[in-house]
Amino acid sequence: MAPIFSLHSHPSFSLSSSPPQQDTRKNKSSCFICCTSNVADQQSQCMSVGDECKKRRRELLVQAAASVFAFPAISSAALAAESALPEGFRVYTDEVNRFKITIPEDWQVGTGEGDGVRALIAFYPQEASSSNVSIAITGLGADFTRLESFGKVGEFAETLIGGLDRSWQRPPGVAAKLIDSKASNGLYYIEYTLKNPGESGRHLYSVLGVANNGIYNRLYTLTGQFVDEEEAKFGSKIQKAVSSFRLS
């Protein structure tokens, strides 16, 4: 099977194929972020850490979304109302991680995990392709209760693109361009493009959400991507998949 993603920035990831059904594995590792202390004589230290935690809020969300360049991508279509199941699609429901998504019925499903990531679920064509949809789930501290903890969607989107863009370097690096950003259904939707000099451009759609599984808060980063030459073949399929994503 051809590689699904370029994992250069995530060498610790291990991704394996699985049948087209829900993932019932339970991960025992966790990654929590908090700024609390139960010891009275550590209160002053906790206060000094508080400012750093505020910075970490935004950095965490940027890093999660920025990971799309390794295995990413959302358009305004993602804000459309849910409709009947499109022909050629099926609903993938993950009861363990509490989400559902509509994907092309012939796409494969891969699962994995890595440092700081509780679960990684990927959906991709059977043929060799750079187009795919993935969902990364990371643990959060109790103070991360909603996306607004990381800032407003427009502010975050600008920060994300600014962190990815390297077109100003000499020689120029990757060029990142923000196309759209919106908040709806308790989720952040961001559409943008990435292009490395001499390589095909990538169109990316990202959806971010925060939910609680009854034990701790989790950050969901769904990303879908297609390269320019595959837009006609996979563009609309990826948009449909991204727009259907819902937390349960």
Task: Write the DSSP symbol of residue 162.
Answer: H
pLDDT score recorded for residue 170: 94
Domain range enclosing 38: 29-247
- Compute the distance between CA of residue 116 and CA of residue 95 in angstroms, rounded to an integer: 21
Contacts 24+ apart (CB under 8 A), 166-175: 171/197, 172/197, 173/197, 174/69
The verdict on residue 119 lying in a domain is yes
Residue 81: inside a domain: yes
Q: Residue 99 maps to which CATH number? A: 3.40.1000.10
Residue 63 confidence (pLDDT):
56
Q: Is 19 exposed, middle or buried (0-12, 13-18, 19+ CB in 10 A)?
A: exposed
Who contacts 150 (Cβ-Cβ below 8 Å, separation ≥6)? 57, 58, 60, 61, 144, 156
Does some domain include residue 8?
no
Six-digit token string for 26: 């339970």
pLDDT score of 75: 34
Domain contains 3: no
In a domain, 52, yes or no: yes
**Which pLDDT score, from 0 to 100, does residue 136 have?**
94
Q: What pLDDT, on a 0 to 100 scale, did the predictor assign at position 31?
A: 32
| Closest of 233, 236, 225 to residue 201, by C-alpha | 225
Rg (CA), the chain: 18
Provide the residue-wise pLDDT of the chain in tens; the chain has 248 residues: 333 333 223 333 345 555 444 443 333 333 333 333 333 343 333 333 344 444 555 555 555 555 444 443 333 333 333 457 888 999 999 998 999 999 999 999 999 876 666 789 999 999 999 999 999 999 988 778 888 888 899 999 999 999 999 999 999 999 999 999 999 989 999 999 999 999 999 999 999 999 988 888 899 999 999 999 999 999 999 999 999 999 98
The pLDDT, as a whole number, for residue 183 is 95
List the structure tokens of 47.
């206060």
Asked if residue 162 is part of any domain, the answer here is yes
Query: Is residue 16, in this structure, part of any structural domain at all?
Result: no
In a domain, 13, yes or no: no
The count of domains in the chain is: 1
What's the confidence (pLDDT) of residue 164? Answer: 95
Judge whether 45 and 210 are in contact, CB under 8 Å. no
